[in-house]
Every structure is written in C-alpha cells, then in structure tokens.
Copies of this chain bind each other. A is one copy, B any other.
Amino acid sequence: MKACIRNQQTLETCYQINAGRLENNLKSLAVFGANQETGGIDRPFGSEADLNAREFLQALWEKEIGISTRMDAIANMWAVLSGCESLPPIVLGSHHDTVPNGGAYDGALGVLLATEVLQTVKENGISLRHPLTVVSFAGEEPNPYGLSTLGSKTISGKLGKDILIKVVSKIDQSSLQAAVAKAGGDLEMVEEDRLRPGEISAFLECHIEQGRRLFDKQLALGIVTHITGIYREKITITGEANHAGTTVMSDRRDALMAASAFSLEFEEYVKQCNSEDVVGTIGSLEVFPNAANIVPGEVELILEFRTSQTAVSKQFIRELDRIAEQIEKQRKVVIRREVILDQAAVAMDRQIIDVLNKSLRKLEEPCVSLVSMAGHDAAHMVNFTKTGMLFVQSINGKSHCPEEKTDMRDIIKAGNALLQAVLILDKELN
C-alpha cells in the first residue's frame, strides 16, 4: 500500500477488488444446478441446487470472510459488516437462483460482486460509517411457485402471508411454505419481518445487462435510470376436445389453432409499436389433453408485455381486449384472462445515479445511461430506500441461456466501480 499515502482521493481509488478470488467464487457457485447435457444451470427457488448454493454462500460469508449472516422470513440471505456509526446499512446484492437452463452470471454475479466488495473493505481495514450488507434475494426468477422476485416483493409488502401460505408448486403441488422452511425461512413471520422505510440507507444492485446495448457500443458498464414495467396475463383458451379424424374441419373448436392466431395477432401489435422499449412474449404454453389424435380442447399460456411508458402499457391492454374478442368470435372458443403480474416502471434514485457517475469518472471508465428491460429486485426496493443499478456488458447480449457470459475484465471494472460507489455513499449518506 506504499503508493497510497498521498491523499484520501488516491488512497480510495487505489483500493482494488481481488479478481482471482471473485473468479473462483463465480466458478464455485456455477456448480450448483449445472446441467451437463445442456451446459446450462437449473437452480430455481426451492430446488436442491438452490439449497446447495445457499450453503455455499453462508459458508463463504461466515467461515471465509467471518461476518455474521441472517436469514429473513421469506429466506432472503443477509450478511452484515458492521460500521463505526449507528446508521442504517448500505446494502449491495442481487439473487442466486436461475431460470431453467439459465447461465452463471444472472443474479449470481451481483451477489458475488457485493461479497467481493465487502471482503475488500474488510481486509483493507477500511472503516465505514455505515454497516455494509450483502443480500441474496430468494426466488427472483420465475419458479414452480409462480412468483418471481419472491423475496424482494415479500419484504417490500407486495406479497402477504395470506397469499404466500396458499401457494403450491405447479410441478408436485408441494407448498411454498415447505420450500421456504427448507431454505431456512418461516412464512408465519413474513408480516413481522417486512422492510420499514429508513431501515436501509441505500440499495445498489449490480447485474448483467442481458441485452445487446452495451455489447454493441463496446462499453463495459451502464447506469440504469429506469426499470421497465412488466405486465403478465395467464390466458386460458377453451375450445372442444374431439377426435382428430372424425371431426370435420368446419365443426372444430380447436384451442391450439385459436392460441396460434392469438399469438400472431399479439406479436403483430408489439412489432408495430416499433420501440426498443416495448417487447412482448408468450414464453409458456401448455396444450390439453396434448395427444396426437385429439383436437386440443384447451390451451393455457402466459403472455408478457414490457415497457417503461405507462401510456403504451394502457393502450396495449385495450388492444389485448380487442384481440381476445376477435379470436373468440372467429374460433368459437372462450378466452379467460387473469392478470398475474402488473409491475409499474420505476425510476432509480437520482443521488445513486450521480454517485455511480462519480465512481466511473474516478476510474476513468466511460459509460452510458439506459432503461433496464428486465425486472429486478431493485424495482421493489425503491419505496424503502435510495435504489440504484449498475449494468455490466453481456457478451452478444445473451442471457437466460447456457451461452450467457460476461468478460472478466468488465466484471473487475464493475467490482471496483461498486467499491468506489460504496466509499462515496458512505460519506454522502446519513
């Protein structure tokens, strides 16, 4: 540390995260849920892989770094490095679960970067005024319990015990309560264990971009200004199951053909919005009874629409009504729709955005501001604390797939930027 005695400014800037250690932790965490066949990772909330990843993180925090950890009622994991003043903590983190056949960086990178920053602060004996906390949220990704951003939604009061207690897995009907208990939580306590405003000084989440914008601009980092709104409907199309040979075409009420027509109408509408900030997807679809020689009687699908523009979102829902009505008439089917997610777009905190800009200037790292088209736990933290997000480049913009990758050089830049942001926030915040 000889070179670091001239002034506080240089002193702070020269603190560096430990790249090798971080890289090893990324490799170690990627083992849990690794699918040898696909090369992807299957680590949904409640799975064996999730439980093993939790054990790994707890051991890393408690044994390796030597800080105290806490599991809250919904099984979010917290690790705290105490500060020298009695102030609410600065929290860094993300989630450690993955989508089916997902990658090694979505969520995991944010948790391990936060961990690395904390470990760097601790081993350099940097004394912060605020406690520095790492969080790994439970079930951020869609999971068999049908609740994404489960952990942050619950502590922010958007999911209550009354709802959670009734939730079961669509795979084996096992209860969410049992899964949460296995992970170390307790659904009975979620109401008591909610976040209170002021309980946290700031929340900062680092995450891979999962899009091509940074990659196409060849930038390592981006500062998030907004998180997109996400709207999801579960749509059930009911026609009539009948024999595939003896039912003439004109007599059919084919639920799958109706779903196909519905899907293309929906896609057509989304495309003509012609904006990078408007996307729509039908990612999940099931056919009943799903036999080769039976005209499908029912189709259940999940439709999703994303935009950060409220007006566009309102118009979209009116459009969906029109499409549903039209398909019902044309195809002699009944369409039931249920809104299963309606998450408004949110703005990141102005001060956090400024602090991130200062950090990047300090590191002489160019960056860009952008809207996050993916939902994140950060979206649920905005009501309780100053919240911000830092994006790291995704190679080829790929994510939620085995090819998901972020360059280690960019990861190091993100880690040091996060460290600088913590040091500045620690001074600025009270």
Contacts and interface: CB of A to CB of B under 8 A. Distances in A.
A241 B400 contact: yes
Nearest to A227: B245
Contacts of A276: 248
Contacts of A70: none
Interface residues of A, number: 67
A24 to B, nearest CB: 27
Contact of A304 (B100, B141, B244): B244
B292 A142 contact: yes
Contacts of A261: 260, 264
Interface string A291-304: 11111110000101
Contacts of A210: 243, 245-246
A289 B360 CA distance: 37
Given A287-B284, A293-B142, A293-B304, A245 B398 contact: no
A20 interface: no
Contacts of A211: 243, 246-248
A245 B306 contact: yes
Interface stretch (A84-92, A152-160, A251-259): A251-259
Given A142-B291, A276-B248, A398 B242 contact: yes
A401 interface: yes
B246 A99 contact: no
A293 B245 contact: no
B241 A101 contact: yes
A246 B285 contact: no
20 contacts: A99-B289, A100-B290, A142-B293, A212-B251, A245-B373, A245-B375, A248-B276, A249-B267, A254-B281, A256-B285, A257-B282, A260-B263, A264-B264, A283-B292, A285-B287, A285-B290, A292-B304, A294-B400, A294-B401, A297-B401
Interface of A: 99-101, 141-142, 148, 209-212, 228, 230, 232, 240-249, 251, 254, 256-257, 259-261, 263-264, 267, 270-271, 276, 279-287, 289-297, 302, 304, 306, 372-375, 394, 397-401
